[in-house]
Structure 1
Amino acid sequence: MTSPAGPVGAALRDSARIRPADAAWAFALRAGLAVAVPMVLLVAAGEPAWAATAAFGSFTALYARDELYRPRARQLALVALGLVAAVAAGTLAAVLGGAAPILVVALTGGVATWLCTACRVGPPAGLMFAFAAAVASALPATAGAVGRNAALAAGAAAWAWLVAMAGAAVDRDAPRRLAVARALRAVAALEDVPPGTPGLTARHRAAVAVERAWRALPARPPAGPRGALIADLEALAAHAELAFASVHLRGEAARRAPAWAPGGTGERDGAPPVDWAGLRALAAQVGRSGPIPRIGRSRAEIAEVAGRHLAAELGRRPAFLRPDPAGGRRVWLGGPAIPVAARVVLGALLAGAAATLMVRDAGLGHGYWAAVSAVAVLQTPNLLGSVHRTVQRAVGTLLGVALAAVALLLLPGPWAIVAAIVLLQVVAELLVVRNYGLAMMAVTPLAILVGELAHPAPGAELIRDRLVQTVLGCAVGLLCAVLIRNRAAVRHLERVTAACRAAVTELRDRLADPGADPLPAARRVATLLTAVREAHDVVSGEPGRTPTDAEMVLRTEQRARHALTAAAARLRP
C-alpha cells in the first residue's frame, strides 16, 4: 500500500532529478554574447541603468533553443516584439504609478503565457516578458523614458536575433541532427526500462523525442546534396521509431501478462529484438559534426518514412490555426492555454497585492519579485509541474541569495557587475536544461545584479527582499495552481483521443475498400494525431491521471501511425 507521503516524495525526487543535456555550451555562449555586447556598450557610454533596460531585449536569445533556423527567425522576431512591448508597458506603468505596475505585470504575464502555450513556444515562455515588465515598472521613469527604453530593448533584441541566427551560416541542419540524435538516445535509454509507471513515463519521454525528430525533418527532402543528408536523417528517425515500437509492444505485453516483463529479446510478444548498443553509437555519431551515418533501410523503415511524409503533408498547420480537430465549432486559439493564462493573471495579481501591503507595512521593497515568482511557478500547464517549479525555485533562490551576497560584497563597480551578469547568464543556460533549481542558483544573483545596475540599493535589503518575495510568490502561485485546475485540458484530451480512434477505424475501413478514397480520413487522422500528443503534454501532470490513461494515449498514437503508413502505401504506391 502506498503511503501518503508517496506522491509527495516522488514529486520531490523528480524535482531534484538531473537531466542529461547536449549542445548546451553553444546555446549558453550565444545567450552570454547576446547580453554582453549591449551592456558593455552602454556602460562604456556611462549609462549603466540603460544597460539594465537593454538586457531585457537581449533575453530574445533565450528562446527557440533548438528550433530550425527558418521558424526560429520568425519566432524570435515575435519574441523580440513582445519583450519590447513589455518594457514599454512596464515603463508606462512606472509613470502612472498606483496599482498600474501590478496590473501591467499580471496582464503581461497572462497574455504572454497564453500566446506561448497556444503557439507552443518553449521555455522560458511567458516568464521573461513578465520579468521585463516588472523591472521596468519598478524603476523611476518619466513619460519620455517610454520611447527611450523601448528603443534600447529593441536594439538589444535585434542584436540577440543576429546572434541566435548566426549558426545558420555554419550548419543550418544542426538542429535536425540534434533532434534525431536525441530521439535515438531516448529510445536507447529504454533498454532497462522498468515495468509500471516509471517505465511508462520513460516510454512517453522517448515518444516525445521521436516525435520532435520527425517534426524537425521537412515533409519532403529537398533536391541536391542536402536532400541526401535529410534522407539519411529520415532513415535514422525511422530506425528510432521502429525500435520504440518494439519496446512499446513489449510494454503492452507486460501490461497484459506480467510474466512478459520488459528486458527480454521480445520474440515472445512479436516485437523484434533491438540493438541497444547500435542505437547509442548512432546517437553519438549523429550528434557530432561530420557525415551522417548511413544505415541499411528495411522495408518497414521505408514504409515508416512514407507514412511520416503523408502525416506531415496532411497535418502541417499549427494547432492554434485550425478548427477544433475533435469537431468543435470554435477555433482552437486557446483551449488548455486559457486556464493556464488565467492562473498566471490571478497569481501575479494576488502576489503583487500581497507584496505591496508588505512594502507598505513591513518596509520591504522590490515587490515585483513576488509577482514574477508567481508567474514562474505557473508557467507549466499542470499541477505537478507547478509543484516542481515551486520546490526548485524556493531552494535555488535560497542558495542563490548567498552567492548574491558574496557578489555584492566583492564586486567593485559597474564593469565587474556586467562581467558577473554575463557569466551568470552563461551558467544559468548551462544548468536550466539539467535542473531548474540549479539554474536558479545563477538566475537569483543575476536578477539581483541587474536590479543593482539599474537602481543601486543596500545589499542587505536586496537579499532580504528577494528571499521574502520569492517565498511569497511561490506560495501564491502554488495555491492558484491547486485552486484553478486545468479541467478543460482533460476534457480536450479525452475528446481528441476518442476522435482519433474513430478516425483510425474509418481510415482502415476505407483502406479495406478498393473503391474508397482514403485521403480525407488520412487527413483527419494526421490532424488528430498531432492534437493527441499536444493535449497529453498538457494533461500529463494533472492529479487523477492513471497509467491506464497514459497507456491509452500511446496505443492510440501507435495505431494512428500504422494506419497512416498503410495509407501512404495505398496513396503513393
Structure 2
Amino acid sequence: MVVPLIVLVVIGRVDLAVYATFGGMTALFGRSEPYRLRARSVSVAAVGMLGSIAFGLVMAALGAPLALLTLGLMLLIVVGVLLISTMGLFPGTPLFFVFAYTVCAQVPTEPDQVLPRLLVGLAGAGFAWLVTMSGWLLRRAAPERSAPMFKQLPRQPRVNLVAYRDGRVWLSIAQMLVGVVVAGGLAILVGIGHPYWAVVSVVAVLPPPGARHSTSRAFHRIFGTAAGVVLTALILLPGPPIWVLILTIAIGQFGAEILVGRHYGAALLFITPLALTVSHLGSPAPVSVLLVDRVVETALGGAVALVIVVVTRAGLARAARRREALPG
C-alpha cells in the first residue's frame, strides 16, 4: 500500500491516491493459502476490486442520479457475493467491492479521467499481487532445513461452480439488498452528508453466506467501527501532513489483513481509519463532519443490519422447528 502512495505524492498526484488504495486492497485476499491457490484467489480479487473501481468511475463520469447509483450498488452486491461464493474467497463478504464502488462513484470525474484513474487502480492491484505472491520466491530460495521458519498455509479455497444454486448465498444477497436500500434510504431522509457509509456499515455487519446469524457478531462490528472512529479522530483532527495519512492507510491495511480472519470487530479498529482516511483523500471534507457522519451512519446501518440478523435468525429457527415437527 505504501509504495504506490509514495509515488503519487512524489509526482504530485495525491488526488489519485484513492484509486491506488482500492487497487491495493487486493492484498487483503488469499491469506494463509498455498501459493498455487493464492495466485488464483488474489487474481480473482483483483478483478473484483478493479471491476468495482471501474463501475464507480463510470457512474461518476455519467453523473448518475441516485436511482441509478442504487441499482448499480444492488447489481454489484449480487455479482460480488456470487463471485466470492463461487471462487471461495476470504474475506467472504463483498464489503471491499462495495466500499470501492460507493467512494469512486462519489468522486467528481470527467469522462476523459476514467481510464487514467482506472490505470492507477490497476497499478495498485498489480503491485499488491506481486507483494502478496512474493513469499513464494522466498520459500523457493530458502534451503530445505529452513522450512520450519515459514508459517503453515492451511486454507484450501474450493471453487464451487454451482454456488448460485445455494439458498444460503441468495439469503445473504437478499439480506444485503434489503439492508442497503433501507439504510441508504433512511440516511438520505435524515439528511446525512455521507449516506454511503450507512450502506457500507450494513454490508460490514451482515454475515457472509453460511455464517451463523449472531447478534454478538453484529455488536462486535458496530462497537469496533465506533472505536475505529475515535481512533481516526485522534489521527485526522490535528490536520496531519500527507505522510501521516499514508502511514495510517498502510497500518490500517496491515491490521485489517492480520485480524479480518480472526475477529472482525477488532479488524474494524483498523479498517475504519483506513476507510475514513481514503475517503478523506478522495473527497476532502471537514474532518469533524466526516467523523460525526461516520458515527451516525454506522449506528444507523448497524441497527438496520442487526434487525435483519434478528429477524432472519428467528425465521430460520421457526423453519427448523417446522421441519422437526413433520412426521417421518
Of the three residues 419, 425, 430, the one matched with 2:247 is 419
Contact preservation (8 Å) 1:383, 1:482: no
Letter in 2 for 1:69: Y
Of the three residues 29, 32, 37, the one matched with 1:66 is 32
Of the three residues 328, 332, 339, the one matched with 2:171 is 339
Runs of 5+ in structure 1 lacking a partner? 1-34, 175-224, 230-284, 293-315, 322-330, 491-541, 550-573
CA distance, structure 1, for counterparts of residue 75 and residue 311 of structure 2: 19
Which digits, 9 at most, give the CA deviation of each residue in 1:217-238, with x for residues without a partner?
Answer: xxxxxxxx99xx9xxxxxxxxx
Instruction: Give the Å deviation of 1:106.
Output: 2.9
Which digits, 9 at most, give the CA deviation of each residue in 1:201-229, with x for residues without a partner?
Answer: xxxxxxxxxxxxxxxxxxxxxxxx99xx9
Contact preservation (8 Å) 2:232, 2:272: yes
Equivalent in the alignment of 1:374: 202
Letter in 1 for 2:233: A
Letter in 2 for 1:320: N
The verdict on how the C-alpha distance between 1:144 and 1:354 changes in structure 2, with shifts beyond 3 A counting, is farther
Equivalent in the alignment of 1:41: 7
CA distance, structure 2, for counterparts of residue 543 and residue 118 of structure 1: 29
Of the three residues 450, 453, 456, the one matched with 2:284 is 456
Give 1:315-354 correspondences, 5 Å limit: 320-321=160-161, 331-335=162-166, 336-354=168-186
Runs of 5+ in structure 2 lacking a partner? none
CA distance, structure 2, for counterparts of residue 317 and residue 159 of structure 1: 23
Are 1:160 and 2:135 an aligned pair? no
Contact preservation (8 Å) 1:343, 1:480: yes
RMSD of aligned C-alpha atoms?
3.2
Equivalent in the alignment of 2:116: 148
CA distance, structure 2, for counterparts of residue 162 and residue 319 of structure 1: 23
Q: Secondary structure at the match of 1:333?
A: helix
Instruction: Give the Å deviation of 1:403.
Output: 1.3
Letter in 2 for 1:120: G
Letter in 2 for 1:467: V
Contact preservation (8 Å) 1:39, 1:52: no
Q: Percent identity?
A: 35
Instruction: Give the Å deviation of 1:436.
Output: 1.7
CA distance, structure 1, for counterparts of residue 251 and residue 110 of structure 2: 32
Q: Secondary structure at the match of 1:151?
A: helix
Letter in 1 for 2:126: A
Instruction: Give the Å deviation of 1:350.
Output: 1.8
Which digits, 9 at most, give the CA deviation of each residue in 1:236-257, with x for residues without a partner?
Answer: xxxxxxxxxxxxxxxxxxxxxx
Letter in 2 for 1:376: A
The verdict on how the C-alpha distance between 1:486 and 1:81 changes in structure 2, with shifts beyond 3 A counting, is farther
CA distance, structure 2, for counterparts of residue 105 and residue 452 of structure 1: 21
From the CA coordinates, give the structure whose radius of gyration is larger: 1
Of the two structures, which has the highest relative contact order with CA contacts closer than 8 Å and spacing of 6 or more? 2
The verdict on how the C-alpha distance between 1:147 and 1:370 changes in structure 2, with shifts beyond 3 A counting, is same
Count the aligned residue pairs.
Answer: 316
Equivalent in the alignment of 2:264: 436
Are 1:476 and 2:304 an aligned pair? yes
Letter in 2 for 1:131: F
The verdict on how the C-alpha distance between 1:318 and 1:444 changes in structure 2, with shifts beyond 3 A counting, is closer
Of the three residues 355, 361, 369, the one matched with 2:187 is 355
TM-score by length of 1: 0.50
Letter in 2 for 1:103: L
TM-score by length of 2: 0.85
